[in-house]
Amino acid sequence: MEEPILIVDDEEDLRYILARQLQMGGFQVETACNGEEAIQKLHEREYPVVITDMKMPRKDGLSVISAAHELHPETEVIVLTGHGTLENALQAFKAGNIFEYLLKPLDDIAVLNTIVERALERRNLRRHNRMLFEQLQQAYEELKRKSEALIQNEKMSAIGQLAAGVAHELNNPLTAVLGFAQMIYEKLRSRRPENWSDAEYERLLQALENMMQGVYRARDIVGTLLRFARTSHPEQRHLVNINQVLHDSFVFTEHVLLRQGIVLQKQLAPELPPVWGNAARLQQVFTNLLINAQQATPSGGVVTVISESSNDPKGVWVHIEDTGEGIPPDALEHIFEPFYTHKAEGTGLGLSIARQVVLEHNGQIQVASEVGKGTRFSIFLPAAEAEQLPDQRAS
């Protein structure tokens, strides 16, 4: 159905003449006898073209023009007035999209049809340009996202290969160092050298304990490097129940939170669409984020895990938020970079791994944080495609 033209004038005879002229030209028309009625109509619907007088009781033409511009920016306005001054014209053009400024009485009223047609053409062109711009913007954002994902994948793959090589090279020497340190420690514990003072003896034992703790820490880092390297090798995928993956993550982390005096709140939606992915990899993501929350939250704090479905786009959101120390703004933009960490402990790989796994699942990960109030990580995972559903069951 064609959208009607709105005519606004306090002269009843002129409204009738203008409406009749446009109807003869094939246009649908609605009328308003003053600015107040016109503004009410503009609140109820959009008009492609508004023809309005300037001087009217109960809201003038400037009020109508401003309302049309505010409510419907693409609406074209034709001003038809018997009080034409330069000041009036400037005020009208400042108030909104003025297509034409006409003085009445019109010498040839038939020209109104041509003016309205041209106004409609400009409005349609404006709307078409806006749609093209939105499509271009969407295409740019999609290209940017895919480009960033490709760069990230290449970067992570290269770092993964390096990490695997470093880890394998370090593993054997670390095992040897740990073995010798343990042997010397046990031997000294069983028999103290006679010519050593108590202070020298305790100092050496403490040094050996520190050495072994350092080696244990180094082996943990090696293990993390190996896990990091494995993220670049996709594994078998199937239908995944995200709530079940979260429950599996709670098995590894809930007791740690409770022991630290942190409350774990679970708000899991009962019905979630299945996700096509690797459950073990996704569990690694949620476990890393829960450990991060535990490390950032003091005793008495709260960690909340929320799962919810999304219709546009279709998929699942998981939010993990804490009431911890928060992340400084200068660190926030770097937290997903490999080996970056603003904490004393940690390798700086947990969030890099999490982001990589999420991207491999065509998802997205977001973070919001305020120092002194806490941090919220949000992960979106797209629902399984229709062709992935028939022959599989959610795990």
**Hey, what amino acid is at 162?**
L
Supply the angle between the helices 198-230 and 350-360 in degrees, to the nearest 10.
10
More confident residue, 261 or 126: 261
Same domain, 304 and 182: no
Q: Are 52 and 27 in contact (CB under 8 A)?
A: no
DSSP state of 383: B
In this prediction, residue 91 carries a pLDDT of 63
Q: Is residue 55 part of a domain?
A: yes
The one-letter amino acid code at 134 reads E
Maximum distance among all Cα pairs of the chain, rounded to whole angstroms: 123
- 32, 77 Cβ separation under 8 angstroms: no
Does 19 share its domain with 91?
A: yes
Whether 311 is in a domain gets the answer: yes
Tokens representing residue 170 in the block:
């370090």
For 376, the enclosing helix (H) or strand (E) is strand 374-382
Taking CA 379 as the corner, what is the angle to CA 378 and CA 380, rounded to the nearest 5 degrees? Answer: 125
Name the band, by pLDDT with cuts 50, 70 and 90, for residue 375: very high
pLDDT value at 20 more than 70 = yes
Rounded to whole angstroms, the Cα distance separating 34 from 53 reads 9
pLDDT confidence band for 393 (50 / 70 / 90): very low
Q: If you search the block for the tokens 């895990």, which residue do you land on?
A: 305
Residue with tokens 């400084």: 328
| SS3 annotation, 98-128 | EEEEEECCCCCCCHHHHHHHHHHHHHHHHHH
Asked if 278 and 356 sit in the same domain, the reply is yes
Which element (helix H / strand E) includes 369? Answer: strand 364-370
Which residues on neighbouring strands pair with residue 66, listed in sequence order?
none
- DSSP for 39-80, written as a single string: HHHHHH---SEEEE-SS-SSS-HHHHHHHHHHH-TT-EEEEE
145 occurs within a structural domain = no
165 and 296 belong to one structural domain: no
Residues 199, 281: one domain?
no
- Tell whether 379 and 261 lie within a shared domain: yes
Supply the DSSP string of 303-325, one letter for each residue.
Answer: EEEEEEEEETTEEEEEEEEE-S-
CATH number at residue 52: 3.40.50.2300
Average pLDDT score, the chain: 83
Q: Is residue 180 part of a domain?
A: yes
Which of 173, 201, 230 is the endpoint of a domain? 230
Instruction: Give the CATH number for residue 330.
Output: 3.30.565.10
CB 326 within 8 A of CB 369: yes
Instruction: Report the number of distinct structural domains present in the chain.
Output: 3
Q: What is the pLDDT of residue 394?
A: 44
Query: For the residues 109-131, what does the mean pLDDT come to?
Result: 89
- Do 208 and 256 share a domain, yes or no? no
Q: Taking the model in full, what pTM does it have?
A: 0.48
For residue 91, tell me if it sits in a domain: yes
Q: What is the pLDDT of residue 230?
A: 59
Residue-level pLDDT at 243: 95
In a domain, 323, yes or no: yes
Q: Which two tokens stand for residue 240?
A: 């995944």
Range of the domain at 166: 155-230
Examine residue 131 and state whether it is found in any structural domain, yes or no: no
The burial class, CB within 10 Å (0-12 / 13-18 / 19+), for 162 is middle
pLDDT digits (tens, 9 = 90+) for 43-102: 999 999 999 988 888 888 888 988 988 899 888 999 887 765 556 556 656 655 788 888
Q: Are residues 346 and 285 in the same domain?
A: yes
Residue ending a domain, among 109, 133, 168, is 109
226/290 same-domain check = no
Pair (165, 219) in one structural domain: yes
Q: How far apart are CA 309 and CA 376, in angstroms?
A: 18
Cα separation, 154 vs 150, in Å, equals: 6
Would you call 272 helix, strand, or coil by DSSP? coil
* Residue 228 reports pLDDT greater than 60: no
Q: What is the mean pLDDT of residues 262-280?
A: 92
Does residue 190 lie within any of the structural domains?
A: yes
Verify that 267 and 382 share a domain, yes or no.
yes
pLDDT of residue 90: 61
Predicted local distance difference test score (pLDDT) of residue 229: 57
